[in-house]
C-alpha cells in the first residue's frame, strides 16, 4: 500500500514484527508521540531514535497512533484500547502489548 506509513526499527518485517517481538501476533507498530514516527516497539525506539520517549497525552487518544502490520489500517489509541483485533482485517493483536501500555500512552 502506497500510503502506508514507514515503520523503522531493528529487523522490521513486512508485518511490523521486529527483533524484539516476533511472534505471529506481533503485528502492530506504534507511532511515538515524541517524533511522530512508527516503530514496532519501545525497544526499537530506544535503539534507533536517539531521544527520550514522550507518551501520548490522554486528550490526543483520538488520533491515529497504531498501525496494523497486516493490512496497513491505522487505529486511534482509543480504538486500539477497545479492541483485541484489527477492525479492518480481523488480525489478532498480541494481548501482551497491553501489559506495557504505559510505555507509549498516558493511561
Ligand atoms: Zn521518538
Ligand atoms: Zn522492537
Ligand atoms: Zn488489519
Give me ligand 1 centre to Cα 43, in Å. Answer: 11
The C-alpha atoms of residue 11 and residue 83 are separated, in whole angstroms, by: 27
Model confidence pLDDT, tens digit, residues 86-102:
999 999 999 999 999 99
Nearest ligand, CA 66: 3
Nearest ligand, CA 67: 3
Q: Are strands 37-39 and 74-76 parallel, antiparallel or unpaired?
A: unpaired
- Locate 52 and state its grid cell: 527520550
SS3 57: coil
Model confidence pLDDT, tens digit, residues 18-71:
999 999 999 999 999 999 999 999 999 999 999 999 999 999 999 999 999 999
For residue 3, what pLDDT is reported?
A: 80
For residue 37, what pLDDT is reported?
A: 98
The C-alpha atoms of residue 84 and residue 9 are separated, in whole angstroms, by: 24
Confidence of residue 10 (pLDDT cuts 50, 70, 90): very high
Nearest ligand, CA 56: 1
DSSP annotation of 19: S
Q: Is 67 in contact with 16 (CB distance < 8 Å)?
A: yes
Give the domain ranges of the chain. Answer: 28-103
Amino acid at each position: 500500500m502506497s500510503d502506508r506509513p514507514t515503520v523503522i526499527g531493528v529487523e522490521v518485517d513486512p508485518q511490523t514484527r521486529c527483533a524484539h517481538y516476533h511472534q505471529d501476533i506481533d503485528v502492530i507498530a506504534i507511532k511515538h508521540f515524541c517524533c511522530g514516527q512508527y516503530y514496532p516497539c519501545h525497544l526499537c525506539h530506544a535503539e534507533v531514535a536517539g531521544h527520550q520517549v514522550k507518551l501520548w497525552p490522554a486528550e490526543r487518544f483520538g488520533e491515529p497512533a497504531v498501525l496494523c502490520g497486516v493490512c496497513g489500517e491505522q487505529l486511534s489509541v482509543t480504538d486500539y484500547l477497545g479492541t483485541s483485533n484489527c477492525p479492518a482485517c480481523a488480525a489478532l493483536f498480541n494481548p501482551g502489548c497491553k501489559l506495557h501500555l504505559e510505555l507509549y500512552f498516558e493511561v
